[in-house]
Structure 1
């Protein structure tokens, strides 16, 4: 086990290797996440609508 001073030096070295995204990359990935969330929510809304309509028809038929 490394002593605390060596550990802190290693942490500082590793943090120095981190590549931070640019403002443009953050913006683009945020827009992509929002677009995919909208597409996914629309998909599940339509699937729910289809299943609900199907079940309603089945219940009307047997009820």
Structure 2
């Protein structure tokens, strides 16, 4: 069933009113959490890379 543009805009406004828009505190908290998790992930993969590089160097005999 096709709707006209006016009905469509009314439906869009109705649906947008149902959305939970975060407040400033929620945005700051989740942003900090994202940066912390990105830092922890980068440290984890750095350490995994270091272990693999060291292990391969020891196995192949040219590690340092």
Q: Structure 1 length normalisation: TM-score?
A: 0.88
Q: What is residue 19 of structure 2 aligned with on the other side?
A: 18
Runs of 4+ in 1 over 3 A off after TM superposition: none
Structure 1: 5+ residue runs without aligned partners?
Answer: none
What do the CA deviations read for 1:35-63 (whole angstroms, capped 9, x no partner)?
Answer: 000000000000000000000001108xx
RMSD: 1.2
Q: Which moved more, 1:52-61 or 1:21-30?
A: 52-61
Alignment: residue pair count = 61
Greater RCO, 1 or 2 (C-alpha within 8 Å, sep 6+):
2
Where in structure 2 are there 5+ consecutive unaligned residues?
none
Residue matched to 2:36: 35
Q: Give the deviation of 1:20 after TM superposition.
A: 1.1
Distance 2:41 2:7 in 1: 47
